[in-house]
Amino acid sequence: MMRHSWVIFSLSLTLAACGGYDRELMGDPVPEPAQVAAAEVTYEETEEVPVEPADSLAMFDDLRFYGSWYELYPYGMVWRPVVVSTWAPMSYGHWVWTSYGWMWVSYDPFGSLVYQYGFWVNDFALGWVWVPDYVWAPVQCEWVWWDDYIGWCPLPPPGVRYKDPWEYTDSDPWITVRVTKFKETDVAHYKTTPKFKSGYSERTLRREAPDAGTIERGLGRPVRVVDVQIDKIAVGQHELTRVVLPHDEQRIIEKERASRPGGAVRPSPEARFKQPPPNSGGTGSDRTKDEVSPPPKEKATTTPPPKEKSTSSPPPKKESPPKFKEKDKEKDSSSDKKDGEKKKG
């Protein structure tokens, strides 16, 4: 019996080997190792933990005074500013016409870097974050203008596209104004809800920066050319380009920061480039509770609370003895009168 069992076992092994060899000859696919289904592959969520930027981002080192760096898939290192809840990129400044074209003059203390380099994306967890890049431009934004509307939004990273401004119903990345308000100071203050008419608006739609002539026709007056200077500084292996604005534009920036304190961020006193005027760093009414610094302790101790004033009147116990004495006198006088009447009677 043992001999027969060994014969049967060897024959089964031989048949299995021959079957695999026949499948290879016939072109049948060889089974591959089991793989994880695509639906089962998951990525870890981004944790809001600031990290130190790499040495290659040394040219953007000033940004650390106004925000924090994070690792965000698939962009790598991104920077998030410390801003108020209603803030959005390219919403705090005005437009100037230069020899380089339209240039965004930002009132944000970090605007000289993030609006002429890199991209912006609105992450669901971190909010608005800036994706660094080393190519300089007078302004990094997308344009759309039609009829008498002009809209712009920060340039998104490659592969990301924002919907058109008239397709949004709530918050959106676009700032849309009338042509007549395009050259106003703090232009986002004139933001409006755009209207798009099928047929007519499609014929006038443009997705490029408007020329100065278009703005002049809408304003009814010529547009002044602002003379700006370009400074280039070598930082490591890269070249940093900074825009130097004329004095009149600098005065506008300082005036706007002073008239609307708070702006976007509360910069650190260690920042190396020019700071906003006093009280423009973060005591505005539109700031969140966490961003407003508490009042000095001296003021809190010197001013007495209003409740102490209301309780300064004398207690009722001191007033009670005179009242009782007066009542006793009245009783005595009334009893004397009765006794006198009795005697007379």
* pLDDT digit string, tens, across residues 284-318: 333 333 333 343 444 444 455 555 444 444 545 54
CA 48/CA 68 separation, integer angstroms: 10
Select from 293, 291, 255, 274 the least CA-distant residue to 87: 291
The tokens for 278 are 């006093």
Point out the least confidently predicted range of 42-56, 161-175, 263-277, 327-341: 263-277
pTM of this prediction?
Answer: 0.63
The overall average pLDDT reported for the chain is 74
Looking at residue 270, the DSSP 8-state letter turns out to be T
- pLDDT of 179: 96
Q: In the prediction, which pLDDT does 48 show?
A: 60
- DSSP code of residue 110: T
pLDDT in tens, 3-25: 555 555 565 655 555 555 454 44
The per-residue pLDDT for 309 is 47
Q: Over the stretch 78-122, which tens digit does the pLDDT of each residue have?
A: 999 998 888 999 999 999 999 999 999 999 999 989 999 999 999
> Are the CB atoms for 249 and 236 separated by under 8 Å?
no
Contact in structure between 81 and 98 (CB atoms under 8 Å): no
Q: What is the pLDDT of residues 129-177, one digit of tens each?
A: 999 999 999 999 999 999 999 999 999 999 999 999 999 877 789 999 9
Q: Is the pLDDT of residue 34 over 80?
A: no
The whole-number pLDDT of residue 52 equals 64
Please state, as a whole number, how many other Cβ atoms lie within 10 Å of the Cβ of residue 292: 14
pLDDT the model gives residue 279: 36
DSSP 206: B
